[in-house]
Amino acid sequence: MRNDLSATLTQREAIIAACRVMNRNGLNQGTSGNISMRQGEGMLITPTSLPYDTMEPDDIVWMGFDGSVSGKRQASSEWRFHLDILRAKPDVNAVVHAHPTACTTVAIMEKSIPPLHYMIAICGGHDIRCAPYATFGTSELSENALAALEDRSACLLAHHGMIATGRTLDRAMWLAVEVETLARQYLGCLPFGEPPLLSVEEIQNVISRMANYGHAS
């Protein structure tokens, strides 16, 4: 049976469950990270600085694409890039932002993840770009993230963390774990030097094959 959290839980409950999973599975720590889901003409997003273990459904904040806000809490400090990504990418319904250690280590080095493994193709191209640094919560960070996400479903944020997106929250969470795995593999290679890479053509070939396999987004 497919483990589709969002099918059985309300969107608010699904967001909280995903936050707890990402902290439990080591993808994130403390109150870092934030998750949003498209809802109508806006999004539901985690509140800022609230521990996930005590978060309740009515702590989740609703923000409209028109700038309207409703909720008893203040929205995540990263609401800008969540809103801008959901507005710019109609096929994306969930955005996961976390500070996973391997992704963040690569991002601290201001490196993109190159095509070292064929699974890089799940992000839509031959690399996972690292967006240039900008202060958290700023429109500059949002612009940098959107540029890094062009034709890609995930990116790194320099000196900060990563963003994974998906048609569903389950897909975005799955992608976040896969991107962290690729980052870990990259870090594992680097002591031997820069790894040999697959070609851009081969990654395009893998993307075509994946369309018939189940990894397509």
Which residue's entry shows tokens 């690399």? 127
CA dist., res. 129 & res. 109, Å (int): 12
- Does 77 bind ligand 13P (CB under 6 A)? Our answer is yes
Closest to ligand 13P by CB, 62 vs 136, is 136
- Does 100 bind ligand 13P (CB under 6 A)? Our answer is no
Per-position b or e across 170-184, b if 16+ CB within 10 A of its CB = bbbbbbbbbbbebbb
- Does 78 bind ligand 13P (CB under 6 A)? Our answer is yes
Pick from 49, 68, 139, 208: which binds ligand 13P (CB under 6 A)?
49
Instruction: Pick the stretch among 28-36, 109-117, 118-126, 190-198 that binds ligand 13P (CB under 6 A).
Output: 28-36
The pair of structure tokens assigned to 217 is: 């987004």
Residue 33 · residue 73 · CB < 8 Å? no
Of residues 130-149, those binding ligand 13P (CB under 6 A): 136
Pick from 6, 11, 76, 153: which binds ligand 13P (CB under 6 A)?
76
> Is 78 annotated in the active site?
yes
Q: Point out which residues pair with 38 in neighbouring strands.
A: 43
Catalytic site positions: 78
